[in-house]
Structure 1
Amino acid sequence: MRDLSGLIQLLLTLLIFVPFERLFAARPQRIFRRGLLTDVTFLLLNGWLVTVGLIVITTVAILVNRSILPSAARQAIDDLPYLVQVPLVIVIADLGVYWAHRMLHDVPAMWHIHAVHHAVEELDWLAAVHQHPLDVMFLKAGSLFPLFALGFSTEAIGTYVFVYYWQSCLVHANVRLSYGPLRHILVSPEFHHWHHSSEMAARDKNFAGIFSFYDLLFGSIYLPKGQTAKTFGVDNPMPSSYLALLAYPFMVWASRFKRHDPSST
């Protein structure tokens, strides 16, 4: 049943975003672009690897909820109606995404994991899945761990996961959308495209997933008026195949360890 629902979701995403990108393209780009097959492989295989991490994250978070969180706090959250929980869940989760995402950029060892995502040079909706499994797990830990630890309902958390899925596809999509006066409140494709930009001024900016005001609040926003991001990717050459991209951070770590290991000389 889960596989069927996943297939339906994928087909629905295709039916929405492929014509959407044709009608409102931000840049001329083929549907069958470079790296498409690699991204399809990420889409089909990453879920199995990430599931193990999600089980660990949710299990530890539930243990924290039951053993550390005061019973009064658990009861207060449990008593909140679904329509109150959902906005709270989205705000809390996106704050977690912001700081987890920022750490992936700021901590050199973690950047080598996240660089796999930034290796994409032609952005479209499918680029959203071009992520190392460790990258996905870390971002999920930032967003889902506090939600399960605080004891929000599975329905409210499930709603956030649904919203985040569609938001992630949208902000990576090759479409012209800036949101006008809401651009400093909500993350738009324009906002996130700058995050992927290879331009120096845009480096390490725009970390939020849903609410751009987090970047405004923490001084990491980059949205030059009247301009759009045009080139994407990282400075150093990156592998192009799925298995090589999975191995990439481990190869970099091993290389740096060997370079700093006195016994290797």
Structure 2
Amino acid sequence: MDELFGLSKFLLTLLIFVPIERLFAARPQKIFRRGLLTDLAFQFVNGWLILIGVIVIVTMAILVNQSMLPSAVKHMIDGLPYWVQVVLVILIGDLGVYWTHRILHAVPAMWQMHAVHHAVEELDWLAAVHQHPLDVAFMKAGSLFPLYALGFSTEAIGTYFLVYYWQAYLVHANVCLSYGPLRYVLVSPEFHHWHHSSEVEAKDKNFAGVFSFYDWLFGSVYLPREKKPKTFGVGHPMPSGYLRLLAHPFRVWTSRQRRDDQLSRASSSGVVRPGQDELTSRERSR
């Protein structure tokens, strides 16, 4: 039962990151911060919902591998040493994370899911789990589908899971860590904190999860020297509480669909009420 709820991993993570954040804090922040109980709900409930999505993604990827992947490609990947597979798996997986993450920011309907993650205004290690299950499933599809479809070994993909698990907590942690010259290669807490910043200059930047060079390569990096992010969040009020945050994208989608239907009916009847042809400032965002 302990393993089903991931309690052992959570306690180990807590014992590692809480002391580190006390010793190397990037910002003064309480352990029992705002939203802590909500994040604990994400930690222990989300996993069950995400698991369903992962099973579907992996099943579809394996079917593609068995029915469509050329045998020559299968043999080539099977013949690769474990460590070569690990490097390729992390590179491919993180490229998938980069582009799915960027899509979540670029497409307004997708952003409503991802905004749940960005709603965190006091960033620390536990913010890593503050994500809508649909958001996580979409990013898992981008990273895991190609890995299983190409037929990489279970051991190599398992290593990627382990690397990404710790990386996710580390880059959200409230620690002052920049990596020096390695900042051009690896995603550090400093790098990812800018991604969560509500400051205008940092908007829609730093999408990679492991390799920062993807952001340098695709022109989406923001990493100023001698400056630290001061504020986090989405810049407008978001719901509080686990269930309200789960419902948030559905409420926005329903509201916009209702508005579009009203505009469509008004347009077809030739009557447009004042203000109906304009989006509210809040709806314009994203």
TM-score (norm 2): 0.91
Query: Match of 1:240, as an amino acid?
Result: S
Aligned residues of 2:175 and 2:189 also touching (Cα < 8 A): yes
Q: Structure 1 regions of 5+ residues with no counterpart?
A: none
**Residue type of the partner of 2:86?**
V
How far apart, CA to CA, are the structure 2 residues paired with 1:181 and 1:168? 21
Which residue of the partner structure matches residue 68 of structure 1? 68
Specify the alignment match of 1:189 in structure 2: 189
Conserved in 2, the CA contact under 8 Å of 1:112 and 1:248? yes
Q: Does 1:82 align with 2:54?
A: no
**Distance in 2 between residues matched to 1:180 and 1:173, nearest whole Å:** 18
Partner of 1:125: 125
1:138 and 1:145 mapped to 2: Cα distance?
A: 10
- For 1:26, the equivalent position in structure 2 comes to 26
Q: Which amino acid aligns with 2:99?
A: W
The question of 1:253 aligning with 2:253 is answered: yes
Tell me, in whole angstroms, the C-alpha distance in 1 between the residues paired with 2:88 and 2:182: 20
How many percent identity over aligned positions?
74
Unaligned runs of 5+ in 2: 267-286
How far is the alpha carbon of 1:83 from its aligned partner?
Answer: 1.2
- Greater radius of gyration (CA): 2
| AA aligned opposite 2:129 | V
Once the two structures are superposed, residues 66-109 of structure 1 have per-residue CA deviations (whole angstroms, 9 ceiling, x without a partner) of: 11110110111011111110011000000000000000000010
Q: Match for residue 147 of structure 1?
A: 147
1:153 and 1:92, CA in 2 relative to 1: closer, same or farther beyond 3 A? Answer: same
- The one-character-per-residue Cα deviations of 1:129-170 (angstroms, maximum 9, x if unpaired) are 000000010111111000000000011001001000000000
Aligned to 1:41: 41
Residues 79, 25 of structure 1: alpha-carbon distance in 2 compared, 3 angstrom cutoff: same
CA distance in 2 between counterparts of 1:112 and 1:249 reads: 5
- Which aligned pairs between 1:146-185 and structure 2 lie closer than 5 A? 146-185=146-185
Pick closer, same or farther for the CA change 1:77–1:5 going to 2, 3 Å: farther
Q: CA deviation at 1:55?
A: 0.6
Q: Using the alignment, how far apart are the partners of 1:238 and 1:124 within structure 2?
A: 18
1:6: Cα distance to partner?
2.4
Q: Does 1:212 align with 2:212?
A: yes
Q: 1-side partners of 2:51 and 2:10: how far apart? A: 18
In 2, distance between residues paired with 1:2 and 1:149? 31
Any conservation in 2 of the 1:96–1:143 contact (CA below 8 Å)?
A: yes
Partner SS for 1:3: coil
One-letter amino acid matched to 1:135? D
- The one-letter code matched in structure 2 to 1:31 is I
CA contact (8 A) 1:58 1:145 kept: yes
CA distance in 1, matches of 2:102, 2:4: 35
Matched residue type, 2:185: I
Tell me how far 1:10 sits from its aligned partner: 1.0
Quick one: distance in 2 between partners of 1:115 and 1:7? 27
Following superposition, the deviation at residue 8 of structure 1 comes to: 1.7
Give the C-alpha shift of residue 4 in structure 1: 6.3
Is the 8 Å Cα contact of residues 258 and 264 (structure 1) preserved in structure 2? no
Equivalence for 1:199: 199
2:6 partner SS:
helix
TM-score (norm 1): 0.98
Partner residue of 1:3? Answer: 3
Give how far 1:207 is off. 0.1
One-letter identity of the residue aligned with 2:260:
H
Letter in 2 for 1:70: P
Q: For 1:212 and 1:15, how far apart are their aligned partners in 2?
A: 27
Check the 8 A contact 2:126/2:173 in 1, yes or no.
yes
Q: Distance in 1 between matches of 2:251 and 2:265?
A: 16
Q: Is the 8 A contact 2:5 2:44 kept in 1?
A: no
